[in-house]
Amino acid sequence: MLDKASSIETREIPEGLRAPIDALARVARNLSFTIRRGALGQSLGHEVGENTDGDAQKALDVLADEAFARALSGTGVRWYASEERDTVEPMDADGRFVVAIDPLDGSSNIDVNVSIGTIFSIYDAKDDAEASVLRPASEQIAAGYVIYGPQCQMMLTFGAGVQQYVLDPESDTFRLVDAARTIPEGSSEFAINASNYRHWSKPIRAYIDDCLAGIDGPRGKNFNMRWVASLVAETHRILSRGGIFLYPSDDRSGYERGRLRMVYECAPIAFLIEQAGGAATDSCDPIMGKAASELHARTPFVFGTREKVARVTAYNDLPDQEVSALFGARGLFRA
């Protein structure tokens, strides 16, 4: 069904959530247009300031944040929590929901015409603004992302599988193309920012060493590597053809808990990945059982097919001498 006034096909969207999801889709559609115009329109990639996290804010980060806040107002959202804002802000006093959002993910890719995105999460609102988002990720009632790539797509979950929508340039609406997306098994691809190798813990180095050793190492097969530096693009690839993503903690100052934010990035992606049959952890424990301790808290993040994610946990559980040993000593990890 395509509701005439709607920017997204609504038949698989729970009725109570249609208004906020439609607002998110409407802004995503407009952002997709703005991004496609690039240098023909307004400048999007120049720095305009710094957010709470100390990250540089690009013009598109701010534009996206303001557009989502404007559009969500009046759609039943009581609280709005954005990566670009210091605090959770009030919206509709009688609203039922809280939306947590990374309005523009992958900001470093804006200027180079590589896929970027939007990530969001919805919970039932509580009376207290912060308590509405500082809660177990398992309490999300919806999560999704939009990828602004060669195609603009939206992935959504309401806790009963993952739905895939494509923005149809002819009708200018997000159209459902798959109501039950699952992660394919069997990929040999891993994604990690390997330039941080020297900063990682021993188990993470050992895991990657064993992938890099390929057919001659304990895994006995060759692997391929990808790093887009847009979480949405990595997630989309994994949902499309499998594999694993890692952004571990490391010993750089400020990276003791990795780089990615629990509320705005990891909780919603973990919800989607689990709903697609995969797993998501902080390299040991499931993200879905965890709650952020503060609004902009970070967490190490590992997700992908269950078997691959479990293997990273197993490396973390290895005794130190095993992790340090030569490949042969880790025979239990063959394949």
- Residues near Mg ion, by CB under 5 A: 83, 102, 104-105
Judged by beta carbon, residue 97 or residue 301, the one nearer Mg ion is 301
Please check if 104 is assigned to a binding site. Answer: yes
Find the shortest distance in angstroms from Cβ 125 to ligand FBP.
Answer: 24
Residue 159 is assigned to a ligand binding site: no
- Closest chain position to Mg ion (CB): 105
**3-class DSSP state of 321:** helix
Range 52-71, binding ligand FBP (CB under 6 A) = 55
Choice from 102, 189, 250, 282 touching ligand FBP (CB under 6 A) = 102
Question: Does the annotation place 3 within a ligand binding site?
Answer: no
The answer to the question of whether 105 is labelled as a binding residue is: yes
Tell me the sheet residues that pair with 99: 80, 122
The binder of ligand FBP chosen from 7, 10, 57, 107 (CB under 6 A): 107
Q: Give the single-character DSSP code of 306.
A: H
111 binds ligand FBP (CB under 6 A): no
Distance CA 317, CA 335 (A): 18
Question: Between residues 145 and 158, which has the closer beta carbon with respect to ligand FBP?
Answer: 145
CB crowding 186-198: b at 16 or more within 10 Å, else e = ebbbbbbeeebee
- Minimum CB separation of residue 318 from ligand FBP in Å reads 26
The one segment of 9-17, 71-79, 100-108, 134-142 that binds ligand FBP by CB under 6 A: 100-108
Binding marks (x or -) toward ligand FBP, 254..273, rule CB under 6 A? -----x--------------
Q: Is 106 annotated as a binding residue?
A: yes
Q: Phi/psi at 128 (nearest 5 deg)?
A: -90, 130
Token pair 């301790």 is at which residue? 293
Instruction: State the Cα torsion 268-281-162-4 to the nearest 10°.
Output: 10
Q: Counting contacts by CB under 6 A, is residue 193 touching ligand FBP?
A: yes
How many residues touch ligand FBP (CB under 6 A)?
11
Mark out the alpha helices in 38-114 (DSSP H runs).
59-72
Cβ contacts of 130-133, under 8 Å, gap ≥ 24: 130/88, 130/295, 132/78, 132/79, 132/81, 132/88, 132/98, 133/79, 133/81, 133/88, 133/98, 133/100, 133/263, 133/292, 133/295
d(CA 98, CA 323): 43
Q: Write out the residues near ligand FBP by the rule CB under 6 A.
A: 55, 102, 105-108, 193, 229-231, 259
Which amino acids are annotated as binding site for Mg(2+), given as ranges?
83, 102, 104-105, 265
Residues making up the annotated binding site are 83, 102, 104-108, 193, 265
